[in-house]
Amino acid sequence: MEAYVKSHIENHVGYIEFFHPSHNALPSDILAELTQAIINAGENDDTKVVVLKSGGDRTFCAGASFNELINIDDEASGKLFFSGFANVINAMRKCPKFIIGRIQGKTVGGGVGLASATDYCMATKFASIKLSELNLGIGPFVVGPAVERKLGLSGMSQIAIDANSFYTADWAEQKGLFSQVFESTKELDEAIKEFTQNLCTYNSEAMKEMKKVFWKGTEDWDTLLIERAEISGRLVLSEFTKEKLKGFK
């Protein structure tokens, strides 16, 4: 199957789904489409709540596209690539609708950032998480603020330093990333449907104002995340990272 980002509305719930054949990795074009889809959902009066999901059963998101990372050959290109993650997170942050995360399986790196940028995140027991960036010589600079906001500095630093380990869905729930963890994707989808339909009965203006409250203190992220993208864009050019990425070819 080819990569895609697609959206549809069902009973005032806007579903945004992304897919990539490489375990739902995120190249620049998918990041750009995802950003625009989130902006569009926020502006659509027929959408009261947004669900962010990915295609397939096993992996929610493998993070940055290694094929694209290995071809970055200057700092400007590196900054541009990592700015794609910054743009998605900022679009999620500024979207006036609650974004509900559907995390059906493992999620790595930038995928953990996406999950952290949702307003309410639900997962299956298979949704273990890992921040692998430091192992590649980069570091989770762009997604770090979003992850820290959900896990706290202690939780974020733990998984950022222990870059080789997956942490269980139960751990992520205990730390506050996941609100609920389910035994299967079927149970997850049923719960999301019930939850979002209930949210649609709420006052949209009240939810909009509550979202502003939840995200208070992040007003500098438009600048901060791009500055972080510049750091990652520089580090991805290091010999250390280039050698590491060759191993994933």
pLDDT (mean) for 76-84: 97
Q: Is the pLDDT of residue 73 over 70?
A: yes
pLDDT above 70 covers what percent of the chain? 99
Task: List pLDDT tens digits, range 151-194.
Answer: 999 999 999 999 999 999 999 999 999 999 999 999 999 999 99
Burial status of residue 29 (CB atoms within 10 A of its CB: 0-12, 13-18, 19 or more) = middle
**What does the pLDDT read at residue 249?**
60
Query: Quick one: pLDDT band at residue 1, thresholds 50, 70, 90?
Result: confident
pLDDT above 90 covers what percent of the chain? 95
Radius of gyration of the chain (CA): 17
Task: List pLDDT tens digits, range 84-94.
Answer: 999 999 999 99
pLDDT (mean) for 229-246: 93
In order of start, what are the domains of the chain with their CATH numbers? Answer: 4-185 (3.90.226.10)
Burial status of residue 242 (CB atoms within 10 A of its CB: 0-12, 13-18, 19 or more) = middle
Q: What is the mean pLDDT of the chain?
A: 96
Q: Which of 188, 6, 19 is nearest to 100 (CA)?
A: 188
Q: What is the DSSP string of 182-248?
A: ESSHHHHHHHHHHHHHHHTTS-HHHHHHHHHHHTTT-TTHHHHHHHHHHHHHHHTTSHHHHHHHHTT
Q: Which of 17-21, 28-32, 67-71, 121-125 has the weakest average pLDDT?
A: 67-71
